[in-house]
């Protein structure tokens, strides 16, 4: 009887799933959760979460999430054995490989560049339209029309008193219409009719108003075009040289951008970098491409217009990996699961491809 009970106990213990401690840190769209909730209430979601859940199912293990605030803390936790493994958006580098072990690549990507959409995509005509619209607000439009009405009345009144002039009709309504077209024509073409005395003074003053208006508009559009040229001139990583580029201070992209000659503005978070781009204090933000695309899509969707765009080119190819303590036997099992999840089943897309469509679809 004791032997039977002992065998039943062994079978029950064998049938239980092992629980693995898995370290994670927030990084959209790889790992996301409400950081204001307690750890017990958090429900992490994202590409890395779905991927690990599939790996855990394949390995028949349960998962206990362990939360970290930064990539360096996450790696240090795995190195010290605080967790069995760690997953998020962790770039495989030679420096990190000296201290920890990585799985085979869980995702291949590269760096990309985020810029202000208004400075990278507008045509000249579109840009001129936007600037004229901004300049001609309700107040300035009212002041212009008021000044125009006063000027054309004054000009008609002076011309009406000149019996030798037939520039305007002597009748009020038709004369004011003639004077209106005089004002608009002179404002645009600067064609001055033959005049003398007070009429000549009015023509000259209105001529000066036209010059000032065109000069102001030219200056505004030129300034906007210059700003557009800054954002729109970034066609490859080589164009970042000499530009003011935001990058997260503790991440690998910052070191790479420094090497290619950019004026790097170190920021603590990617959100801080986005704020600098939107305020015009940084000409671009460099970070891992999928995260930039995800955040740009979210911000554009929230504001219901395209305020940020991510340049389509990628550079400095990278790989994300899952972290293990050196010589951890779990690594080989996870590598096999990763390979399995990348394999297509006939015409059916692989689990990995479905994850990419779910979390990393570009809707810019």
pLDDT at 256: 86
Alpha carbons within 13 angstroms on the beta-carbon side of residue 280 total 7
Least reliable range by pLDDT among 204-208, 244-248, 332-336: 204-208
What DSSP designation does 102 have?
E
What pLDDT sits at residue 100? 95
pLDDT of 345? 76
Is residue 224 in some structural domain? yes
Q: 206 and 158 in one domain?
A: yes
In a domain, 62, yes or no: yes
What percent of the chain is predicted at pLDDT more than 70? Answer: 84
- For residue 83, what are the domain limits? 2-106+321-359
Last residue of a domain, one of 194, 211, 230: 230
For residue 242, pLDDT over 50 is answered with yes
pLDDT for 136-176, tens place per residue?
778 888 888 888 888 888 888 888 887 777 778 888 888 88
Please answer whether residues 287 and 273 qualify as being in contact, where contact means their C-beta atoms are separated by less than 8 angstroms: yes
pTM confidence score: 0.63
pLDDT of 228 higher than 60: no
Condensed to tens digits (0 to 9), the pLDDT of residues 80-119 reads 999 999 999 999 988 899 999 999 999 999 999 999 987 6
Burial class, 270, CB count within 10 angstroms (exposed 0-12 / middle 13-18 / buried 19+): buried
Which pLDDT value is given to residue 78? 94
Average pLDDT over residues 131-139: 72
Is residue 134 domain-resident?
yes
Residues 203 and 274 in one domain: no
DSSP code string of 152-164: HHHHHHHHHH-TT
Res. 134 pLDDT band, cuts 50 70 90:
low
> What's the CA gap between 76 and 70, in Å, rounded?
10
Average of per-residue pLDDT across 58-73: 94
Q: How confident is the model at residue 185 (pLDDT cuts 50, 70, 90)?
A: confident
Q: Are residues 257 and 226 in the same domain?
A: no
The contacts of residue 245 (CB under 8 Å, 6+ apart) are 257, 262, 263, 264, 265, 282, 283, 284, 285, 286
Q: Please tell me the least confidently modeled range out of 117-121, 175-179, 225-229, 351-355.
A: 225-229
Tell me the average pLDDT across 331-354: 91
User: Is residue 18 in some structural domain?
Assistant: yes
- Same-domain status, 137 and 153: yes
CA distance 308 to 273: 12
Q: What is the CATH number of the domain that holds 178?
A: 1.10.287.70
Number of structural domains found in the chain: 3
Q: Are residues 213 and 279 in the same domain?
A: no
pLDDT at 315 over 80: yes
Residue 300 lies in a domain: yes
For residue 136, tell me if it sits in a domain.
yes
Same domain (yes/no): 87, 30: yes
> Do 58 and 96 fall into the same domain?
yes
pLDDT at 131: 64
351 and 268 part of one domain: no
Are 142 and 216 contained in the same domain? yes
Maximum average pLDDT range among 10-14, 66-70, 131-135, 214-218: 66-70
Identify whether residues 139 and 222 lie together within a single domain: yes
Band of residue 230 on the pLDDT scale cut at 50, 70, 90: very low
Q: What is the rounded average pLDDT for all residues in the chain? A: 84
Q: Are residues 156 and 225 in the same domain?
A: yes
Q: Can you tell me the mean pLDDT for 308-328? A: 92
Q: Residue 19: is its pLDDT beyond 80?
A: yes
Q: Which of residues 169, 198, 230 is at a domain's end?
A: 230
Boundary of a domain, candidates 178, 196, 230: 230
Retrieve residue 193's tokens: 């009719």
CA gap 360, 358 in Å, rounded: 6
Domain check: are 248 and 301 in the same one? yes
Of the candidates 114, 113, 122, which has an alpha carbon nearest to the alpha carbon of residue 224? 122
Query: Which of 24-28, 110-114, 227-231, 316-320 has the least mean pLDDT?
Result: 227-231
Convert the pLDDT of each residue in 262-291 to its tens digit.
999 999 999 999 999 999 899 999 999 999
| Residue 48 pLDDT > 70 | yes
The predicted structure's pLDDT at residue 50? 97
The whole-number pLDDT of residue 15 equals: 46
Q: What's the rounded mean pLDDT across residues 33-41?
A: 90
In a domain, 364, yes or no: no
Query: What is the torsional sign of CA 169, 175, 179, 181?
Result: negative
* Residue 92 belongs to a domain: yes
Average pLDDT over every residue of 331-352? 91
CATH code (residue 272) = 3.40.190.10
Give the number of other Cβ atoms within 10 Å of residue 268's Cβ.
10
């Amino acid at each position: 009887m004791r032997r039977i009970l002992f065998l039943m106990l062994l079978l029950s213990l064998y049938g239980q799933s092992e629980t693995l401690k898995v370290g994670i840190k927030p990084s959209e769209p790889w790992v996301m959760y409400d950081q204001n909730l307690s750890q017990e209430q958090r429900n992490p979601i994202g590409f890395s979460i779905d991927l690990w859940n599939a790996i855990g199912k394949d390995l028949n293990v349960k998962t206990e999430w362990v939360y970290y605030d930064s990539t360096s803390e996450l790696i240090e936790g795995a190195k010290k054995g605080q967790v069995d493994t760690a997953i998020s958006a962790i770039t495989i580098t030679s420096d990190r490989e000296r201290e920890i072990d990585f799985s085979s690549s869980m995702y291949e990507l590269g760096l990309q560049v985020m810029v202000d959409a208004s400075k990278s995509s507008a045509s000249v005509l579109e840009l001129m339209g936007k600037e004229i619209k901004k300049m001609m607000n309700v107040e300035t439009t009212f002041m212009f029309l008021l000044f125009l009405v006063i000027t054309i009345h004054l000009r008609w009144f002076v011309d009406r008193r000149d019996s030798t002039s037939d520039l305007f009709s002597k009748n009020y309504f038709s004369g004011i219409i003639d004077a209106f077209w005089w004002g608009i024509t002179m404002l645009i073409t600067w064609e001055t009719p033959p005049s003398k005395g007070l009429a000549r003074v009015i023509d000259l003053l209105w001529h000066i108003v036209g010059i000032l208006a065109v000069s102001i508009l030219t200056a505004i559009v030129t300034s906007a075009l210059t700003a557009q040229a800054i954002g729109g001139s970034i066609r490859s990583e080589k164009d970042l040289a000499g530009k003011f580029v935001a990058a997260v201070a503790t991440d690998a992209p910052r070191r790479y951008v420094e090497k290619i000659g950019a004026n790097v503005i170190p920021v603590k978070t990617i959100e801080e970098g986005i704020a600098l781009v939107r305020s015009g204090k940084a000409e671009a933000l460099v970070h891992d491409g999928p995260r930039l695309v995800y955040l740009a899509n979210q911000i554009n969707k929230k504001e219901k217009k395209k305020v940020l765009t991510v340049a389509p080119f990628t550079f400095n190819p990278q790989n994300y990996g899952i972290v293990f303590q050196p010589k951890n036997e779990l690594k080989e099992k996870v590598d096999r699961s990763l390979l399995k999840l990348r394999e297509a089943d006939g015409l059916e897309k692989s689990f990995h491809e479905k994850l990419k469509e779910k979390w990393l679809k570009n809707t810019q």
